[in-house]
Amino acid sequence: MIPYGKHSIVNTDIDAVIDVLKNHPITQGAKVKQFAASLAEYCQANHCVTTNSGSAALHVACLASGISDDDWVWTVPNSFVASANCAVQCGAKIDFVDIDPITRNIDVNLLESKLIEAKRTGKIPKAVIVVHFSGLSCEMSKIWELSQKFGFYVIEDAAHALGAFYKGCPVGSCQFSHMTILSFHPVKTITSAEGGAITCNDKTLATKLNLYANIGVTRDHSLFVNQNFEPWVYEQQVLGCNYRLSDVHAVLGLSQLDRIEEFVCARTQLANSYMNDLKSLPLKLPIVEAQSKSAWHLFVVEVVGHDRSEVFKRLREKGIGVNVHYIPIHTQPFYQQFGFDWGDFPVSEQYYRNAVTLPLFPNMSDIEYDKVVSSLHEVMD
Ligand SMILES: *Cc1c(COP(=O)(O)O)cnc(C)c1O
């Protein structure tokens, strides 16, 4: 089966991990600091805090925003459940904004009208978590404008979008947001096996992110509440979690970050080939935007005039590991308990009914690529 996504590990990655195992601290050492610094540099952000997953990064971002019981948090239905779970984990109330059918990202016009309504009813969200679906940036300048006007945190879920650019800046620079979260799961742009990070430009926020990702405990005297500087003293100041990335994972991420151009370039070339080789089929292809450079995490087509389930099954039978991203979050049993149901966000639902994710990963061979294209032609012609 040709998978929809797969990591690429080479000997330099392996040697870097072995070196840490043999010669360095395996957690809380220099590699974690180096990985955070390199990510900040790559993303052109002032600060970066690493975590042991993207989901943990989202949770920490919500905790550092002070999100709690009385707050609303909004995200999109077309994402992995983690984009919504982080708010519920803080006790907040969750709501969704539907997507734009072309970009498959948050519909900023719907966001604006929902904000106007929320202002009237006194339910402005504390944070809006926007998702750069498939690696294509949302309309961040417009979202930032709305955040300045209505007053909410903008958190970018960039799990798909490390290596993407928007208006000339790398995603993660937080040019138009308060924080950006990243994931290093093996299907994402770079991997640390499991891992995640949050970038931001505000020092106070960075300190909070660090605290919440480290159990709420600090040994930094300059941050102490009490003036007890005995050498063994540490302070717990908030209720955090142990979301630390280990040095074993960090060094793999660091080694992978060296290869990010190669990864994004390979993904872009494959996406361009798909665009060309699939254009005659009854498929709605992803868009390419002028002001934006996608990281091409996913290549999602929407079938037109065909039964998605049928197309999906026939492709799987042919050894094509197609996938579906995403079942709308609000239709999951866990979210239905909050009163959501099918019909609530029709654009995400309509998109979902026809969506098929095709295999796309840096080491995809010509043979594998050709097999995907010819199978699609056989199934859809
Ligand atoms: C992968 C992913 C996450 C979560 O990342 P993990 O590292 O797997 O916890 C969050 N949001 C989106 C959109 C993702 O694709």
Classify residue 214 by its DSSP letter.
B
- Mean per-residue pLDDT, 300-329: 98
For residue 82, the CA-to-ligand 1 centroid distance in Å is: 6
- The minimum-distance atom of ligand 1 relative to the CA of 325 is 15
The yes-or-no verdict on residue 87 having pLDDT over 90 is: yes
Neighbours of 3 (CB within 10 A): 16
Q: Which residue has the tokens 């979260």?
A: 181
pLDDT of residue 252: 98
Report the chain's terminal Cα–Cα distance, integer Å.
22
Compute the C-alpha angle 193/29/24, nearest 5°. Answer: 85
CA distance 130 to 53: 18
Q: What's the 55 CA to ligand 1 centre distance in angstroms?
A: 6
Tokens of 51: 């975590």
Where residue 290 falls among pLDDT bands split at 50, 70, 90?
confident
Q: Which of 354, 361, 362 is nearest to 78 (CA)?
A: 354
DSSP bridge pairs for 94: 73
Confidence band, pLDDT 50/70/90 cuts, at residue 289: confident
* Average pLDDT value over all residues in the chain: 98
Percent of all residues in the chain with a pLDDT value above 70, rounded to a whole number? 100
Instruction: Say if CB 54 and CB 297 are below 8 A apart.
Output: no
Which residue's CA is the closest to the ligand 1 atom numbered 2? 159
Query: Residue 291 burial by CB count (10 A; 0-12/13-18/19+): exposed, middle or buried?
Result: exposed
Structure tokens, 301: 């087509």
Taking the mean position of all CA atoms in its chain, how far away is CA 122? Answer: 29
Residue-wise pLDDT tens digits, 213-255: 999 999 999 999 999 999 999 999 999 999 999 999 999 999 9
- pTM here? 0.98
Query: According to the model, what pLDDT value does residue 372 have?
Result: 98
What is the model's pLDDT at position 381? 81
Pocket of ligand 1 (CB under 6 A): 53-55, 79-80, 82-83, 131, 157, 159-160, 183, 185, 196
pLDDT at 207: 98
